[in-house]
Structure 1
Amino acid sequence: MSDSLQIFSEFLGTAVLVLLGDGVVAGVNLKKSKAEGAGWIAVTVGWGMGLAMAIYISGFMGPAHLNPAVTLAFAAMGDFSAGLVVPFIIAQILGGIVGAALVWLAYMPLWSETDDKDGILGSFATAPAVRNLTANTVTEIIGTFILVMGLLSLGENSISDGFNPLLVGLLVLSIGLSLGGPTGYAINPARDLGPRIAHQILPIANKGTSDWSYSWVPIVGPIVGGLVAAGVFSLIPF
């Protein structure tokens, strides 16, 4: 595949991921939504299956990283072109912005019905259950370590064609159920930064602050976790 097509696939796939992932959170959080109050199980299933669908939609055009932490981890291992790292990350962040904007449009009448500013922000970006930036960063490191180790390990198994994206979705579902409680499991800088930018710039009814003081945690934590996973995996003798 050409470089431009691969870059576009990262934009498209991340947009779909955020549309379906943030879409389920908005459905759960916003007043008068038919999914209002559906809870954490709905959120984690929505994100897991949203990722699977995003990979199916974009994966035939490129590697479907859809996550700067994954791109950097694969590049660190020498399994991905260093020259595509920055274009991929830019495409992923832009995809996150567009996906979040589509969520805003899809739920347009419901924002004005909701006065919970934290719930509105949570429909775009992550926030900790208990604010402890060091602990929150550690949680994101652990979650992304499992994500990247899982992705690398899946690559070493014999899997029927077309089944891999579903397994990746189940991996993210597992991470969300087991490790998502403390921080909302960003495990992906673009999934958090892109929608946080969208929250900042869009005229969303009843929105509050975009909480930029926390924004570095879902960037630094996932990048560190992904790189540590790449380092550990490279030590495994094959």
Structure 2
Amino acid sequence: MTNSNVHLIDHPLVQHKLTLMRRKDASTNTFRRLLNELSSLMAYEVTRDMAMQEVEVETPLETMKAKIIDGKKLVFVSILRAGNGILEGMLSVVPGARVGHVGLYRDPKTLVAVEYYFKMPKDMHERDVVIVDPMLATGNSAIAAVERLKELNPKSIKFVCLLTCPEGIAALHKAHPDVPIYTAAIDRQLNDHGYILPGLGDAGDRIFGTQ
């Protein structure tokens, strides 16, 4: 944890899989599989403080009170398209969670996020939101997604990414200081095109095999 609102998930398995994903010769299949595995591991940390409730269960020997989470109160919000690469791994850990989508693309000249799609479950004011996107680079997409979601007054919002950089963290925290960031790595910097260095390239292209 680098400060009170940035959570660096440095578990050895997370770091190992991220290193394998960084390799430029990793195939689309390998990259996608590793992302799914890594996302599942990150989900354990992201959901560490989820609210629990007690229910009555009957074991083979007796009846007892035991704790469960209410996955239906959790919403994973994917920033399209690359966020979908994280989504499957998260849902493997909390299969009862609802799913929302925010469609954003980055204007290649201004790097500003432009929205083209927004679809959320009902009753968002009763739900905790986890926004997922592999990269927090300029922060523009994350800021735009959080702004739209705050219009629905969810109980809480977290942002989860594989990689970020000092510029992305600063931008998101300046706009939304109340939103914690969970990441597997804080890389050195952005280049002139808004890509993270050393990074792992364009996550969407590597997930879907496009250019």
TM-score greater than 0.5 by the shorter chain: no
| Higher RCO (C-alpha under 8 Å, 6+ residues apart) | 1
Q: Which has the larger radius of gyration?
A: 2
Higher strand share: 2
